[in-house]
């Protein structure tokens, strides 16, 4: 394939760890600490959602919860309390979610969790974000052909070509499909500060006789950066803009929490959508701290 030289600025990237936080709005209130409206827990593992107060509890505070089953069934797929107590002088408490482990490939199961009332009527429930008072809890099936669930959580991505690293998360798809991993981090970390795609899908395939702990990985071609190179002369007198796409394959090791992908940074003719060569190639290493 034709090798194309891509001139991109050298970036000095400073990463900071930011957590989703409740913001005080003048009134005493209680809400989920993470304000995203979804929370995922893997079957056979313990989960927990944190409820936080805007200030320390003046006395023991009981928070009542409503649980609405969708595709999950309470006491069959999971258990959860009807209420929790924030002790006097404290600002938070965890709601434990215990999943029921089975040996069936029964897909994604979902239930809704809502804060309904507080023992102190002066304490408001939630803030403007729906996720501060209501959660859709997703139970991710762990009985798939691969151990893809072992990669769900916080990850670090490193690119061998640039040496750049970036942190992010890995999750199941919205429908919880087996052996499909969604990477919410740039697989080309040197481009992470540009206006580029930062979500990628990985397909995992188990190696025979490994109980899904080892196997192969495929990353379908994904457009990363539009107009990566403008006015490229594709032939005499014919100029096109080139997009940059990521495509690769490799292996995974769920025991060690490592995915290695040999990738091509593919040059795509923006007019025809056809690849015309590679900007460069290298190795992406994804590691997880879940082990």
Each residue's pLDDT tens digit, 174-200: 999 999 999 999 999 988 888 888 899
- According to the CATH classification, is domain 148-288 in 3.90.550? no
The CATH fold of domain 29-140: Immunoglobulin-like (2.60.40)
Q: Point out the least confidently predicted range of 11-15, 47-51, 125-129, 130-134.
A: 11-15
Q: How many CB atoms lie within 10 A of CB 60?
A: 13
Q: Quick check: 149 and 112 in contact, CB under 8 A? A: no
Q: Point out the least confidently predicted range of 17-26, 50-59, 201-210, 234-243.
A: 17-26
Residue with tokens 């290493």: 285
Q: How many CB atoms lie within 10 A of CB 17?
A: 6
Task: Examine the pLDDT at 242 and tell me if it is beyond 90.
Answer: yes
pTM score, two decimals? 0.79
Q: Quick check: 257 and 267 in contact, CB under 8 A? A: no
Distance CA 58, CA 120 (A): 10
Q: Quick check: 36 and 20 in contact, CB under 8 A? A: yes
Tell me what pLDDT residue 19 has.
42
Beta bridge partners of 115: 65
Distance CA 12, CA 7 (A): 16
Return mean pLDDT, the chain.
89
Tell me what pLDDT residue 252 has.
98
- Segment 195-224 shows an average pLDDT of 95
Q: Point out the least confidently predicted range of 26-35, 66-75, 220-229.
A: 26-35
Instruction: Enter the DSSP assignment of 156.
Output: E
Q: Minimal CA–CA distance to 28: which of 57, 8, 60?
A: 57
Q: Minimal CA–CA distance to 82: which of 130, 32, 116, 122?
A: 116
Neighbour-count burial of 223, counting CB atoms closer than 10 A to its CB (0-12 exposed, 13-18 middle, 19+ buried): middle
Task: Examine the pLDDT at 291 and tell me if it is beyond 60.
Answer: no
Q: List the end-to-end C-alpha distance of the chain, in Å, as a whole number.
A: 39
Each residue's pLDDT tens digit, 249-274: 999 999 999 999 999 999 999 999 99
The alpha helices in 57-161, defined as continuous H runs, are none
Each residue's pLDDT tens digit, 79-133: 999 999 999 999 999 999 999 988 888 889 999 999 999 999 999 999 888 889 9
Q: Please, which residues have CB within 8 angstroms of residue 128's CB and are 6 or more apart in sequence?
A: none
What are the residue ranges spanned by the domains of the chain? 29-140, 148-288
Tell me what pLDDT residue 290 has.
57
pLDDT confidence band for 20 (50 / 70 / 90):
very low
Q: What are phi and psi of 131, to 5 degrees?
A: -65, -10
Each residue's pLDDT tens digit, 30-40: 999 887 899 99
């Amino acid at each position: 394939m034709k090798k194309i030289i891509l001139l991109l600025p050298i970036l000095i990237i400073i990463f900071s760890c930011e957590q989703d936080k409740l913001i005080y709005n003048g009134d005493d209130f209680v809400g989920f600490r993470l304000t995203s409206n979804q929370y995922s827990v893997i079957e056979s593992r313990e989960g927990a959602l944190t409820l936080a107060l805007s200030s320390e509890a003046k006395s023991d505070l009981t928070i009542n919860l409503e649980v609405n089953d969708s595709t999950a069934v309470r006491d069959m797929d999971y258990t959860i309390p009807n209420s929790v107590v924030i002790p006097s002088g404290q600002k938070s408490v965890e709601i434990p979610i215990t999943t029921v482990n089975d040996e069936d490939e029964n897909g994604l199961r979902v239930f809704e969790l809502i804060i309904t009332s507080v023992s102190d009527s002066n304490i408001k429930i939630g803030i403007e974000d729906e996720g501060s008072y209501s959660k859709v809890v997703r139970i991710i099936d762990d009985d798939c052909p691969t151990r893809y669930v072992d990669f769900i959580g916080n990850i670090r991505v490193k690119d061998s070509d640039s040496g750049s690293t970036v942190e992010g998360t890995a999750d199941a798809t919205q429908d919880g499909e087996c052996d499909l991993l969604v990477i919410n981090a740039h697989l080309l970390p040197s481009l992470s500060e540009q206006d580029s795609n930062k979500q990628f899908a990985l397909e995992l395939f188990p190696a025979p006789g490994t109980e899904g702990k080892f196997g192969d990985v495929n990353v379908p071609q994904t457009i990363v950066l539009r107009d990566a190179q403008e006015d490229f002369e594709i032939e005499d007198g014919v100029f096109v803009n080139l997009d940059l796409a990521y495509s690769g394959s490799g292996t995974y090791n769920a025991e060690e929490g490592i995915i290695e992908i040999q990738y091509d940074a593919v040059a795509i003719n923006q007019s025809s959508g056809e690849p015309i060569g590679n900007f460069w190639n290298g190795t992406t290493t994804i590691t997880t701290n879940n082990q």
